[in-house]
Structure 1
Amino acid sequence: MTPLRLGYLYGFGAYLLWGFIPIYLKLLRPAGPMEILAHRIIWSVVFVALLLAALRNVGFLRSLARRPRTLAGIVVAAALIAVNWGTYIYGVNSARVVETALGYFINPLVSVLLGVLVLRERLRPAQWVALGVGAAAVAVLTVDYGRLPYLALILAASFAGYGLAKKRLGLPAAEGLFVESAVLALPALAYLGWLASRGGSTFGEVSAGHTALLVAAGAVTAVPLLLFAGAANRLPLTALGMLQYVAPVLQLGCGVLIFHEPMPPARLAGFTLVWLALVIFSLDALRTGRRTRAAARAADPLPAAAH
């Protein structure tokens, strides 16, 4: 199998797993969102630690200890992904899967906005149009919900911020996830201890299957991230960008078709505007990618064998 095909396989696998994660989270009830989040953190540490030990790749911890700025960046990334995970779990288990899907649809637009505000990047006209249409979509959905779709906005902003932090850190997926989860492990353990002391823990109390599902949160968290890293190393950025819409489409399908959440006409109109913004954004990215490759070929017309 060629690296490109393997990259598509990894990418589709990652987004497929992320797309159906609402079903898994629903199975964790009656555990509350904070308990699920704490278990997700703890078992992620355990799962990735075992993986790194199997790969004999633990030496990176020593080098990180000598890089305080990198450690500070990891703390920021950990806080952002904790907010993202916690918000998503709360949204799924409060019957708002459709709104959480919206968050991941608008995430690319928020990432572009962060590029302007934080990295001082200049946008092309089509990108400005996509942002404008996205803002109109949020306005329509605000009218429909009777409030800002704050879950979607928190999810989009936290994941876009996490992506920016990860880009600056440049850590491999497994190592990055391990350190981020390790940063959060102590407060997660403290919360689970407090919950157990109050008799509110569901771990080991509901059924063996429920306990196994909580333990499986480590693999459910880590496996898609590792598949995504494999895809990112093999696919062009534009291809990876197209694949990212698989997850929210599946999440939306879970919300409407499986969990029977409402999709009134006004909400559908808002989602349609979001999809229009993403079409404009994606077509612009594809066109720019083609122009960049054409310019590269024009600058170096000789085939690789001639060098």
Structure 2
Amino acid sequence: MITPSIPQSSLQRGLAAAVAAYVMWGLLPLYFRALHDVPPLELVGWRVLFTVPVCFAIVAMRRQGTEVRAALTDWRVLGQLVLSALLIGGNWLIYVIAINNGHVLATSLGYYINPMINVLIGTLFLDEKLTRVQWAAVALAGFGIALLLAGAVETLAVALSLAFTFAFYGLVRKKAPVESVPGLTVETLVLLAPALAIVSIAAAGPQGTSLAMGGNITPMLAGAGLATAVPLMLFAVAARSMPLSTLGFVQFLSPTIAFVLGLTVFGEKLDPARLACFALIWASIAIYSWDMLRRARTAAA
């Protein structure tokens, strides 16, 4: 991979942020499993509502209110953040629905595919170049995805939806000239009105909102703000500090954790089509990783 020159300090900061974000995301199925009784749309609404005060607190602590106001008054930047808000909001909803329906392996596959989508986006929009070996790895991953058409279309739909929404979210956030915390704050403000509408509709129903369930539901719904804001802010830092293709490489942490959870904690089974798809994806990751390491060693020699 031939990438633009980036300071070593920026790369190190981005790598640390990326690792932390992807480990947190890998463990999220356990969090949402505990919130299984909350309807997915309402859960996303509460995620947005409880993320807003977390963002405001961090903005106040870091004295970034001026940057938030600048993003809200710059129509070009605001337009970018509206788009990124819609992408991440859709990603959240797809993910929660998949977890609630027991498709943890499908979410794992989606985030295995996402790095390959990232390298293609980096090539098309960010002038990042792929070697022939890396193109072969992408082609192998594509063949693995195609196998799902033979017997796991539902898994394919979930995986591709997650992969594309998050890949384009990363692209938009990389291009938007706004720092991670102010950007996330504006994104949650964009989603605030629909989130309030969703929660209000739930409250008007015969059972009221999920906050009335008692037990651990209320604190866990409130904690969803931290569980949402912290890894997203870390991701935004990483996306602006390192090449998108390299960021995609680090993302293998998250689906690996989810894959193990799907097989163990959630007890999902691997049918032949999905097993073959995972095997080809892993092979493509191995080839891609080997080529990156080989080129790094050559450059250092």
Output the TM-score relative to the length of structure 1. 0.85
Deviation at 1:117, TM superposition (A): 4.5
Question: Matches of 1:9 and 1:70 in 2, distance apart?
Answer: 27
In 2, distance between residues paired with 1:167 and 1:31?
33
Match of 2:268 in 1: 261
1:195 maps to a residue whose letter is A
Q: CA deviation at 1:223?
A: 1.6
Q: Which residue of the partner structure matches residue 301 of structure 1?
A: none
Give the 3-state SS of the residue equivalent to 2:212 in structure 1.
Answer: coil
CA distance in 2 between counterparts of 1:126 and 1:4 reads: 24
Distance 1:169 1:14 in 2: 20
8 Å contact from structure 1 (residues 30, 202) kept in 2: no
Report whether the alignment pairs 1:18 with 2:9: no
Secondary structure of 2:264's match? Answer: helix
1:192 to 199, 213, 234: 199
Q: 2 CA distance for matches of 1:202 and 1:52?
A: 29
- In 1, Cα distance between the equivalents of 2:180 and 2:261? 27
- Which consecutive unaligned segments of at least 5 residues does structure 2 have? 1-8
Q: Is 1:37 aligned to 2:44, yes or no? A: yes
Q: Sequence identity of aligned pairs in percent?
A: 36
Report the counterpart of residue 160 of structure 1 in structure 2: 167
Give, in whole Å, the separation in 2 of the partners of 1:62 and 1:8: 29
1:233 Cα offset (Å): 7.6
Cα deviations across residues 48-78 of structure 1 (Å, max 9, x unaligned)? 1111112222111232244211111111101
- 1:114-168 CA deviation, whole Å, 9 max, x = no partner? 3344457654212321221111101222213155610000000000100110111
Runs of 4+ in 1 over 6 A off after TM superposition: 2-7, 232-239
Q: How large is the Cα RMSD of the aligned pairs?
A: 2.7
Q: Which of 75, 84, 101 in structure 2 is aligned with 1:94?
A: 101
User: For residues 90-131 of structure 1, what are the alpha-carbon distances to aligned partners after superposition, in whole Å with 9 as ceiling and x for unaligned?
Assistant: 111110000011000010111222334445765421232122
CA contact 1:78–1:180 (8 Å) conserved in 2: yes
What is the aligned length?
293
Specify the structure having the higher radius of gyration (Cα): 1
Segment of structure 1 superposing worse, 164-173 or 237-246: 237-246
1:76 matched to 2:70? The reply is no
Larger mean CA deviation between 8-17 and 179-188 belongs to 8-17
Query: Which amino acid letter does the alignment assign opposite residue 280 of structure 1?
Result: I
Contact 1:238 1:286 in 2 (8 A): no
Q: Which residue of 1 aligns with 2:142?
A: 135
Tell me if the contact between 2:42 and 2:199 (Cα under 8 Å) persists in the aligned partners. yes
Structure 1: runs of 5+ lacking an equivalent: 295-307
